[in-house]
Amino acid sequence: MPEMAVLLNFLDENEDMSNRLMSVLPAALVLMVVVGCDSKPPRVPVTGRVVYKGSEEPVIAGKVVLESTESPNGSSGYIKEDGTFTLGTFDLADGVMPGEYRVYLVQAYEPQEYSENPPPQVPLVDSKYMDPKKSGITAEIPLKGELLIEVEHPPKSQLPRRRR
């Protein structure tokens, strides 16, 4: 029965290989996770303010969005009541990848309390600033200083009519 001896010897060798693999596998997984964490592209911190043109009056709500003109990348950040924002790409405030961007606003409406029958939303800015192709605002990252976004109030034609 030499075939049986060869088979048992083969199984013993494979068991050793499998035990070695199992002892190295956890270390390999940890290494992959650690290396994978640093695989995000470099980013630079970006903060700024949104104000109305010709004044320091802040836009009090909304979200600033940067859309890359060079790649599918983008960044965004929520506008606080004082008009300030901090941009993030992968997380809330982790910065922006260097490059050229179109800048626009979304959700820039007057805050309102929850209601089952809410009134129409009142825009805080001219609707052109809510369209990346019409806003006319661009930014090159990295910046020298903060990103100042100056916008206009909405024209009366964009305001909702009052309910009777």
| Cα 102 from Cα 82, distance rounded (Å) | 23
Q: How much is the average pLDDT of 27-43?
A: 60
Write out the CATH class of domain 47-113+120-158.
mainly beta
Region 108-114 average pLDDT = 90
CA count, 13 A, side-chain hemisphere, 125: 29
Beta bridge mates, 77 = 64
CA 22/CA 14 separation, integer angstroms:
12
Identify the helix (H) or strand (E) that includes residue 15: helix 2-37
Say how many Å lie between the first and final Cα of the chain, rounded: 100
What is the value of pTM for the model shown?
A: 0.72
pLDDT at 52 over 60: yes
What pLDDT, in 10s, does the model give residues 7-19? 445 555 555 555 5
Query: Phi/psi zone of residue 107: left (φ > 0), alpha (ψ -120 to 50 degrees), beta?
Result: left
Amino acid 156: pLDDT: 87
Looking at residue 29, its pLDDT comes to 46
Tallying the residues shown for the chain, one arrives at 164
Please report the pLDDT score of residue 15 as a whole number. Answer: 58
